Structure 1
């Protein structure tokens, strides 16, 4: 997306690219911290075995949800502002690329949300039992 926005070259596209970089840095850092908390509490980062952590790591769940909502572009989070500007910049140039980007973004958001929330919202398993409160 950044290359596309820089390629458009309009002021709105460049502002959008800058906001996208900043928003990405914040929500990605938050998600890495959540993974660190999960690893410290359970002793693993293997998403295939992590289950039922919502009762144990409540603060990590809240941070993961906020970061996921920002990544998804939900208001009032910074991800919304960057994506709003991005869509406006694309609307000024190419409607077909905008439509394609909306579809791809929706698919990426659903995949990201399922991966981010799976360790917390799945039924409790071994990782829940060994997690340190």
Structure 2
């Protein structure tokens, strides 16, 4: 939605919905490209919760532009579930130190009450939008 449709009033903007879960799994695990080359595919993959907060919003008349500063907060639960155990665990067809480690991790989490690691990622970004000249086409 652009600013024209809500009269540049941040309070009139409807929340964006239906975007799905943000993911950090772009690329190929087999070819080690994208997020699988920089570690995000393994360490985060997808997040469970996202909060976006408008921290500042203003109009600069001298520059004829609007600016908004947004804070993004992502939460990820770094744990295992039964599917992970079946696919990567010691009984899943792989017999390696890694598969035994996955099994031990699952046991700590589900049989001994250790909670999964919760990762919180937070950052701010500012966006600036020039005001179109009077008479410019509105979308």
Give the TM-score normalised by structure 2. 0.26
Higher share of residues assigned strand: 2
Give the TM-score normalised by structure 1. 0.26
Q: Name the larger-Rg structure.
A: 2
Higher share of residues assigned helix: 1
